[in-house]
Structure 1
Amino acid sequence: MVVLMPRNSQQMERAATQFYAISAFPKVIGAIDCTHIPIKSPGGPNAENYRNRKLIFSLNVQAICDAQLYITNIVARWPGSSHDSHIFNCSVIKSRFVAGEFEDYWLLGDKGYAVKPYMMTPLRDPVTQAEKLYNESHIRTRNAVERMFGCWKRRFPALSMKIRTDIRRAQPIIVATAVLHNMCKKMREEEPPIININNHSDSPPDDSEFTGSLGRNDDRSRTNLINNYFGTM
């Protein structure tokens, strides 16, 4: 079981149907977020780039999952000081969405990402009933990626504690654990129990918000979704 996004219209429709079953949010084929994986200091002149906002050396790892908590895309090469939106903007997966490979489906991201025709993010201050319904459905549906991170890190405690190899080995180790996570799910391995530790204790708090400029049409898809779908519920 490898790490793959939906590859054809049938697979995309199936992924969207599974996400829709969570909280009636349409056309979602992935929930995206980043999580910090602690590493030992890489040393050298660029070592401080790997310190995150909690002053811990880490890799900021971007992952996308489906509604069944399979990891469908992973990027494990960015220093801990890198912002989530920058990682996405430099990623191949963004280029694939921009090129239209995933048709009219989209990802769900948190407030750290820019809203785009292929990226639905929560509203900062929902006012109308439709806006509130949109945000509530978005939060419940996007929670899949948080659940995936929790399960993944419980399966492989080194992802929470610290990967103590050099950074050139740490990166493929992280990707390998993503593949193994998917294999465990495919083989119906029992999920590790939730214990009283914070699986994201080494991750800086998610309090940043996208502050860059938006294009004229970037918010149109979200506005249309709110008015024409959530506004009729």
Structure 2
Amino acid sequence: MPRTEAECVGALDCTHVKIQSPGGIDAESYRNRKGFFSYNVQAICSSDLKFQDIVCRWPGSAHVSNIFRNSRVRNDFENGVYGDNLLVADSCYAIKPYVITPLLNPHTRAEHLFNEAQIRTRNPIERSFGVLKRQQILSLGIRLKQEKVEAVVMSTVVLHNIALSMGDVEPPEINEEIAAAIELTNNVNNDMVGHVQRGINNSVRYTLINTYFQNLL
């Protein structure tokens, strides 16, 4: 029986996995904005912190929106594979019918309620990265040849999912004040992205705001 309402099927974000300098003429493309060499790893996780999709082939300097734009999962959403279902993401990403991002400048009470719900729904991806990086090879950095990095990351993700399936303890919820600070930082660092997003696919968010969050007041 087909679904009558859209569902959130995952939280989307990227995290940097530290590596040693790969050397060669392209080495600087792996230096991220924090100054160290890394892979910018895209992930989608479920509410129970398990990873559903991983992309580990982009250098640290790659922007998250470009990684998603060129991903298979984005192509699947564009082609209707996931129906009317959607992802939640932070303001680094462009608003799409299938990617719900927070409002950069909420004004009404309903808009603030929407942002609070969006941040809480997105919270598992931050927590899942925290759990994943308890594995020392990710927290300290991968000092292997570049061609082995993807295999190492994928292996740690598999171990992460297995550990959660076996009842490994999850970390606590991220404090809401910290989440708000993260959101503010994202908004400042991605101000130009926000300007581009204004007016594009805003009807997706405002349909949610007007049909659900406004009714909560």
Q: Is the 8 A contact 1:107 1:119 kept in 2?
A: yes
Match of residue 44 from structure 1: 24
Q: Once structures 1 and 2 are overlaid, which stretch shifts more, 207-216 or 180-189?
A: 207-216
C-alpha separation in 2, matches of 1:187 and 1:86: 35
Q: Is the 8 A contact 1:111 1:208 kept in 2?
A: no
Match of residue 59 from structure 1: 39
Q: Within the alignment, does 1:103 sit opposite 2:83 as a pair?
A: yes
1:192 Cα deviation (Å)? 7.9
Matches within 5 A, 1:46-195: 46-154=26-134, 156-191=135-170
Q: Is the 8 A contact 2:127 2:171 kept in 1?
A: no
Unpaired runs of 5+ residues, structure 2, are: 173-184
C-alpha separation in 2, matches of 1:107 and 1:66: 10
1:129 Cα deviation (Å)? 1.1
Match of residue 202 from structure 2: 219
Deviations 1:144-179 (A, max 9, x none): 10000001111x121121100011101111011111
C-alpha separation in 2, matches of 1:215 and 1:133: 19
C-alpha separation in 2, matches of 1:120 and 1:57: 30
Matched residues, number = 201
Tell me: CA distance 1:161–1:183, structure 2 relative to 1, closer, same or farther (3 Å): same
Deviations 1:189-209 (A, max 9, x none): 34589xxxxxxxxxxx74532
Whichever structure has more helix as a proportion of its residues is 2
C-alpha separation in 1, matches of 2:168 and 2:23: 38
Deviations 1:67-108 (A, max 9, x none): 000000000110000011110001001001111111111100
TM-score normalised to structure 1 length? 0.80
1:27 Cα deviation (Å)? 2.0
1:219 Cα deviation (Å)? 1.8
Tell me: CA distance 1:40–1:9, structure 2 relative to 1, closer, same or farther (3 Å): farther
Q: Within the alignment, does 1:30 sit opposite 2:10 as a pair?
A: yes
Q: Is the 8 A contact 2:91 2:194 kept in 1?
A: no
1:185 Cα deviation (Å)? 1.1
C-alpha separation in 2, matches of 1:211 and 1:189: 38
Matches within 5 A, 1:187-206: 187-191=166-170, 206=186
Unpaired runs of 5+ residues, structure 1, are: 1-7, 17-25, 194-204
1:212 Cα deviation (Å)? 7.2
Q: Cα RMSD over matched residues?
A: 2.4
Match of residue 19 from structure 1: none
